[in-house]
Amino acid sequence: MNLHQEEKAISVQELIQQKKSKSQNKIKSEKIVPVILLLTAIVSVLTTIGIVVTLFVETTTFFSHVSIKEFFTAQKWYPFSETQGSYGILPLISGTLKVALIAAVVAVPIGLAVAIFLSEYASDRTRRVIKPILEVLAGIPTIVYGFFALTFVTPVLREMIPSLQIFNALSPGIVIGIMITPMIASLSEDAMSSVPKVMKEGAYALGATKLEVAIKIVIPAAVSGIVASIVLAISRAIGETMIVAVAGGSTPNLSFDVTSSIQTMTAYIVQVSQGDAGYGTTIYYSIYAVGFTLFIFTLFMNMLAQFISKRFREEY
């Protein structure tokens, strides 16, 4: 009884004080943890800066061999020709943009349709089944997609378009489209699902059908997120490497033709780094210039995505 009373006499505040004096370690860890976290943040920032600096330095070296004017205006990309080498990046850019455009044409409608279905029509159960499947699609290694393009899509397409070459822009474009569809679907679905329920209810209460609510309320309210997802996905398509390296060919051409062999910026970098271009040669430095151009492209796209999501946000 006495003991019990003694125990009771110690208040919770006192217990906390006792614990506190014992656990000096806790106070130390409170101070150390933020430092560790800051260090890891600094590592990733430094890496980024390092990459940009390397790209920039090697690119300047390249431009001491080849003039900037030639790089951006020459219409031929013949880096391997010893006698009449030409370093005009336009053919590589055209190859890249063709593939990205085809990918967008495939992925935007399908991705949006999937997003609308998932956010407005699908029951919870259906959503729980479909979303993970989409994420699996996003997790397939791109080399697998590459061979899927080369060994399945290209032959099927050649049945329909006999003039299609074995290496072409169409097939990898379509397959990249399939690859980025889950990205558009998933990010757009997030944007659509975050449209407040009360807003949709307001429309339903006026006798709107599901489709009318989806098209006239949900999409306009989510448009910033949707556009941002599309721009990010296209930026991913521009940066995609393996699929185009496997199925796109290695013939840089400045044209709008999608049936013949192309080369994208990424595929060129792969080609050179696999080959035996010696250190210090113009070809060696050219991959940095191409890489830098690619970096500018994707940086621009990402900034565009950010700008759009700010500019077109419907405030609610």
Q: How many residues bind other proteins, per CB under 8 A?
A: 22
Taking CB under 8 A as the criterion, the residue among 6, 7, 82, 124 binding other proteins is 124
Q: Can you give the three-state secondary structure of the chain, one letter per residue?
A: CHHHHHHHHCCHHHHHHHHHHHCHHHHHHHHHHHHHHHHHHHHHHHHHHHHHHHHHHHHHHHHHHCCHHHHHHCCCEECCCCCCCEECCHHHHHHHHHHHHHHHHHHHHHHHHHHHHHHHHCCHHHHHHHHHHHHHHHHCCHHHHHHHHHHHHHHHHHHHCCCCCCCCCHHHHHHHHHHHHHHHHHHHHHHHHCCCHHHHHHHHCCCCCHHHHHHHHHHHHHHHHHHHHHHHHHHHHHHCCHHHHHHCCCCCCCCCCCCCCCCCHHHHHHHHHHCCCCCCCHHHHHHHHHHHHHHHHHHHHHHHHHHHHHHCCCCC
Taking CB under 8 A as the criterion, the residue among 34, 139, 141, 207 binding other proteins is 207
Judged by beta carbon, residue 90 or residue 208, the one nearer other proteins is 208
Judged by beta carbon, residue 28 or residue 216, the one nearer other proteins is 216
- 206: contact with other proteins by CB under 8 A: yes
Tell the smallest beta-carbon distance from residue 119 to other proteins (Å).
Answer: 14
- 155: contact with other proteins by CB under 8 A: no
Tell the smallest beta-carbon distance from residue 123 to other proteins (Å).
Answer: 7
- 193: contact with other proteins by CB under 8 A: no
Taking CB under 8 A as the criterion, the residue among 212, 241, 258, 312 binding other proteins is 212
- 216: contact with other proteins by CB under 8 A: yes
Subset of residues 286 to 315 that bind other proteins, contact rule: CB under 8 A: 314-315
Tell the smallest beta-carbon distance from residue 121 to other proteins (Å).
Answer: 13
- 128: contact with other proteins by CB under 8 A: no
Please identify, among the stretches 86-94, 149-157, 200-208, 271-279, the one whose residues bind other proteins according to the rule CB under 8 A: 200-208
Residues forming contacts to other proteins in the complex (CB under 8 A) are 123-124, 196, 198-199, 201-209, 212, 216-217, 220-221, 314-316
